[in-house]
Amino acid sequence: MTAPHTLLALYHTMVMARAIERRLWVVEHTEPVNGYLRVSGLEAVQVAAAAALRPGRDWIVPCPTDLALCLAVGLSPLDVMLAVFGRADDPASGGRQTPGAFGSRAARVVMTSAAAGRHVVQAAGIAYATKVSGRDEVTLVCTDERGVQSGDWHEGINFAGAHALPLICLIEDRSRREGPIAQHSNGSTVDRAEAYGLAGETIDGGDFDTALAAFGRASDRARSQGGGTVIHALAVELTSKAPGGGMRPPEELEALAGQDPIDRMRRRLLEAGVLEAADDEQIQRDCAGVVAAAVEEARTAPSPDGPRALDNVFSRVLEHG
């Protein structure tokens, strides 16, 4: 049973993630930045994952859409905007990586590359180190539905299955296909997970309670040496752009609105008496205000010095370089 204050905090994170995305729609058209962060539709499953993990102890290997997940484990809106503007104080990479590459060694959020799926096999390595060290840690690795097509996804999931590793692989699938992942000949993602020796389940990724229960089962399995789990979360991207290109027709947009995970979470909290309508309005205003302030602060923050591009290639300046 999740405590009311925790539910409210998670809801606040969901709203914040959406506020950041919406604000970036404007910023990327008014500023010389790349603010391409697309989290909408995934907020519920991401905060549910965070709620099931122990921040700073369990490992998170995110993909670029994991804004709500990373906010839930410590990333701040200002951190996001410093990355968007490529500023020196961007704590993840000092403005080197394109926005969406979150990472923090202290928080055990691994900085990943832009290559889909490569991080899945690395996550298996993280989980292997956990197992041989005898520590109580779970590794969560996230990918979108395209990452599942990469060879490294298969190599990583196979390795996790062969060693019964404490790994959870979340597939954030906004392709709106309930059958096989695109480009796969047949079989569901759950079938593939089970073939590799992991448990698997497909869930409604827009429903917080469903997602939290799935992560709870997966975490319990991992912590009891029961092996890994693939969670295939179905969700929708709440934009007017259709997944396959072009624009969504009005009737489809209307249908999507009913699947908004933030609306669903809001209704749940209102019905449970955890949230009052007036409080919700305040949360919306607060998040919009925090994001606007973060944009302004990041806009005027210093850029890195050009020659500092030479820093951190190796652990120290080489004597023979």
Partner 1 sequence: MAEMRMIEAVRAAISEEMERDERVLVMGEDVGRKGGVFGATDGLYAKFGEARVLDTPLAESGIVGVAIGAALNGLIPIAEIQFADFIHPAFDQIVSEAARTRYRSNGDWSVPIVIRAPFGGGVHGGLYHSQSVEAFYAHVPGLKVVVPSMPADAKGLLKSAIRDPDPVLFLEHKKVYRLVSEEVPDGEHLVPIGPAVVRREGTRLSCFAWGLMTHYCLQAAEQLAAGGISVEVVDLRCLAPLDRETILESVRKTGKAMIVHEDNLTGGFGAEVAAIISEHAFDSLDGPVVRVAGPDIPAMPFNNPQEEFFMPNPAKIAEAMKKLAAY
* Contacts to partner 1 by CB under 8 A: 59, 92-94, 96-97, 101, 103-105, 110-111, 113, 115, 118, 121-133, 151-152, 155-156, 158-159, 162, 311-315, 318-321
Q: How far is the CB of 88 from partner 1 (least distance, A)?
A: 9
Closest to partner 1 by CB, 29 or 320: 320
- Smallest distance from partner 1 to CB 115, Å: 6
At 33, which amino acid appears? V
The distance of closest approach from Cβ of residue 110 to partner 1 in the complex, given in angstroms and rounded to an integer, is 6
Nearer to partner 1, 191 or 311 (CB): 311
Task: Provide the angle, in degrees to the nearest 10, between the axes of the packed helices 4-30 and 277-300.
Answer: 40
Q: Which one, 115 or 272, has the nearer CB to partner 1?
A: 115
Q: What are the b/e assignments for 236-255, b being 16+ CB within 10 Å?
A: bbbbeeeeeeeebeeeeeee
Minimum distance of partner 1 from residue 230's CB (angstroms): 17
CB atoms within 10 A of CB 205: 29
Least CB distance to partner 1 at residue 133 (A):
7
Residue 59 or 208: the one with the smaller Cβ distance to partner 1 is: 59
Closest among 160, 180, 158, 179 to 168, alpha carbons compared: 160
Nearer to partner 1, 67 or 83 (CB): 83
Describe the crossing of helices 43-52 and 208-223 by its angle, rounded to 10 degrees: 30
Handedness of CA 19, 25, 27, 33 (dihedral sign): positive
Kind and range of the H or E element at 79?
helix 77-84
